[in-house]
Structure 1
Amino acid sequence: MGIIKYLDYEDFELFIFDNFIINQVKEGASIEPHHNELLNEIVQEHFSNKDMVYVSNRVKSYSVNPLIYPKTEAIPNVIAIAMIPKTEVMRKNAEYERQFYDKPYEIFNNLTDAMNWVQELVSN
């Protein structure tokens, strides 16, 4: 389950593993639907014809346009989203955003619990 690749972009960092991506958005960024174009390219490059899970490790403060979720949902390889909010405000935002995504979407207190869920999903 070791890291395969690290990508550093203007608004976020991606850690690519065999069955999942961990995304850490940078402080003050604004995540909009156009970010999904890049996500889709990365998913298709690294997970072609393979299911994967998107993990959002929310350690910094940033904004998310919830209209990003229907576009994320349309990426066929992305079977689920795991959120790990750092603060109670981030948790409430993640709970609100959940209503815009119809595939499995879970919120966790820590990365370990999220990883256990991810491994369960991709092994089934």
Structure 2
Amino acid sequence: MEHFSNEFCKIDLYDQYVILTINENVHFTLNKASILRDKLRKHYETEGFVMISHRKFEHKVSPEIYKQGLLNNMRGLAIVSSNDKERDKAIMEQPLYGKSFAFFNTLEEAKSWAKSFF
């Protein structure tokens, strides 16, 4: 496992999935997503992976990330939160993502789902 953190997020990179935690009150923009894309490209190269967004903190996600900011080898997106408000936001984001998209209450459920892709 490889760990990376900066002023707006932390990521834990595993063989088949990445866990992304955006810091509180961050507006996650395309510019910020490009920093993560570079890390993901280096780690996964052309291998498939699943993104697990662990939404521990409130933050905003720009819709443009779904249109321009995703890697082709990303096979699915899991949103993890026990917060109903985050679930509502995820429901709004789901139509923007054209691949497998799921919502979970725990990281363990999301990890299990991610592993099912491989």
Question: Normalising TM by the smaller chain, what interval?
Answer: over 0.9
CA drift of 1:39 comes to 2.0
Percent identity, aligned pairs only, is: 21
Could you tell me how far apart the structure 2 residues matched to 1:38 and 1:45 are? 11
Give yes or no for the alignment of 1:37 onto 2:34: yes
- The CA RMSD measured in Å over matched residues stands at 1.1
Q: 5+ residue gaps in structure 1?
A: none
**Residue 66 of structure 1: how far off its partner (Å):** 1.8
TM-score scaled to structure 2, two decimals? 0.94
Aligned to 1:54: 51
CA contact (8 A) 1:13 1:24 kept: yes
Count residues with an aligned counterpart.
118
SS of residue paired to 1:99: helix
The answer on whether the counterparts of 1:72 and 1:78 sit within 8 Å (CA) in structure 2 is: no
Question: Structure 2, unaligned stretches of length 5 or more?
Answer: none
Distance 2:82 2:9 in 1: 16
C-alpha distance in structure 1 between counterparts of 2:3 and 2:41, whole Å: 16
1:117 aligned residue: 113
Q: Which residue of the other structure, out of 5, 9, 14, is the alignment partner of 2:6? A: 9
| TM-score (normalised: structure 1) | 0.89
